[in-house]
Structure 1
Amino acid sequence: MSLNGKKILIGISGSIAAYKIPVLVRLLVKEGAEVRVVMTDAAKDFVSELTLSTLSKAPVLSKLFDEGAWSNHVMLGRWADLFLLAPLSCNTLSKMAAGACDNLLLATYLSATCPVAVAPAMDEDMWHHPATRANLERLRAYGVQVLPVGHGELASGLIGEGRMAEPEALVAWAARFLEKRGELAGKKALVTAGPTYEALDPVRFIGNHSSGKMGYALAGELARRGAEVHLVSGPVSLPAEPGVHLVKAPTARMMYEACMELADYDIAVMAAAVADYTPVDVSAQKIKKGDGELTLTLRKTDDILAALGARKKNGQLLVGFALETENEAEHARQKLARKGADLLVLNSLNDAGAGFAVDTNKVTLFYRDGHSRDLPLRPKTEVARDIVDAITELF
């Protein structure tokens, strides 16, 4: 892995971990990267502009209204192959999540067209606070790569989570990340996500608890690796990442029709929780509550995964999802064979932290040759990277 010729923009916020950034800049330059630095005023309390400019061989920018800086905040985000904010303080994190723009670093972030990654650094209690978790999840939804923190001695003297990743680890991550960029260029990907809502009347529907987070994370990861991504989404309120073509399909029938129109894919990932049954009759008026029982007649919906499997051509890769509550592995293998998929991703509701309406997932990958691979519990954005790694290997 090499960073030779890569353009790395470093953003430094006010954290004690900023003292490590001269080492990071030196290592990046040693690996052949061209480095630029932008920093907040608070960061200057921890690291010298002179040190950073000497090591990067370029001026350090910090003032939004200094001569040249106003246009540079746009140009830097277009110049860079990667914008790495390290360290990311709790304060700057909250501003990024809210879309604030009161300094040069934030203005550069909001105008950046390159990939953005953050390396948080804060005390353990701040790291575990619900507001911090919510802000990080919002950044992930925007497509920002959130790098894991380390465990060890903190500035407060406590021992725990919250340490910024070490410079050597950041350099290795950047090399791996940029190496994967573009590896799926020229490929067309179809992804489904979210639930479907099957109407009973103008007010009520049959649905499920799917949040769509897994499918949206997969669509974003495929797009970051260069694929042309078409995301067919059920009724969720998540934002699609830049570059992802979003198609709204709230019902099983609409999702089926959208997928059939996009059946010329190279990669299809069926992550949506599509209803298996839909009402035969839909009332034009709200159904009134009566004295007796209400009986619904349901019919099967069209099976999108099976339909794509039946018409799959050479060179197409089809990935299915299964959510099981019993005999998980057996049912997953049967579904993989029955639906004509190349890879099946199994969720089990018996695994804590996996399934619907949570930000983490724990899955098992089942392959057509009979072998399987367990992935650990981790954020859905990281699970998406693992799944796309598996897809790339199969290609």
Structure 2
Amino acid sequence: MSDSAAAFSARDPLNLDAGFSDEEKAVRDTVRRFCRDHIDAHVGEWFDQGRLPDPRGLTRQLGRLGVLGMHLEGYGCAGASATAYGLACTELEACDSGIRSLMSVQGSLAMYAIWRHGSEDHKRQWLPAMAAGEAIGCFGLTEPDHGSDPSGMSTRARRDGGDWVLSGGKMWITNGSIADVAVVWASTDDGIRGFVVPTDSPGFAANEITRKLSLRASITAELVFDEVRLPAEAVLPDARGLGAALRCLNEARFGIIWGSMGAARSCLDTAIDYAGTRVQFGRPIAGFQLTQQKLADMAVTVHRGLLLAAHLGRLKEAGTLRPEQVSFGKLNNVRDALEVCRTARTILGANGISLEYPVIRHMTNLESVLTYEGTSEMHTLVLGQALTGIAAFRG
């Protein structure tokens, strides 16, 4: 072993820190402190009660922290690296998937759609306020009958003189009932188009979805458009076809690759700490071989996932990250994160189902993360097509 080798760290066994810049580590540490000081002590209660008590206040706090649209350039956005954004997602999801979802939908779906596909007026009107957390955005693509196949959407926008008239509905929309602006995708005579829809438009309604057993510290809504009249300039000029919407989804999926490992890391850390203090048969259960096997397997899984996320982050920064690679990361990391959480639950035994610990909360949250932004089946088929050259999306 080299004399200069860093000491082994149980919290960073692969010394991944060595691959991050000082600025990236500063972002990570700042978000970690924010979660510790403002969210960690309360999020279990929010989950238990199924509510986010002050979403606008929290969004403004995240805006002051600089993480909303942090990977975008200009218009009040931080212009941070993809890796810095990923590390922020890791810390927020180590706190709770719902908190990371609030940030991701705001920055990587609604803001990114406006930043990438919107007009200059759209950008100036919405992005600075959204970056500051003074305005909240949501992203309307999924419909009650069209989830994995958004090309079949029934929401429609038709021309009426110089205006557009929007009719239909969207489902499972994070931030929907608190949003000031919705980016909505609809079928038109010219194909699928994106629209910037102020939520105070006549005919727009958002109904919060309750009785969830996952993402309970997150606001989810159904959007209804009853002949919502929009001016001609509401359309996103550079968004034509479903590909524009999917580009936005890939931005959010990139954050999930990192964030899911934050949830897994939280469960791993909890299991290590618990095993070191829980005494059975006269000694801590950390001293038993079967427990050590679980901890070792969990550590390998978590840090392998973080290594994958870091690699994809550098590809994104180089401009070479492909959608198939995003599917690779989302498929692997969310699936593995769920397995880590389930293993941690076994180490905690009955305590693993108590909200005194974060494990069961992360487990149930990840059940949603597993299927949103593309189910495991869809990402499997994306990779299958890339590997074989044959599309198998339709039987």
Query: What interval of TM-score do these two structures reach, taking the shorter chain for normalisation?
Result: under 0.3
TM-score normalised by the chain length of structure 1: 0.25
Greater percentage in strand: 1
- Structure scoring higher RCO (CA < 8 A, sep ≥ 6) equals 2
TM-score normalised by the chain length of structure 2: 0.25
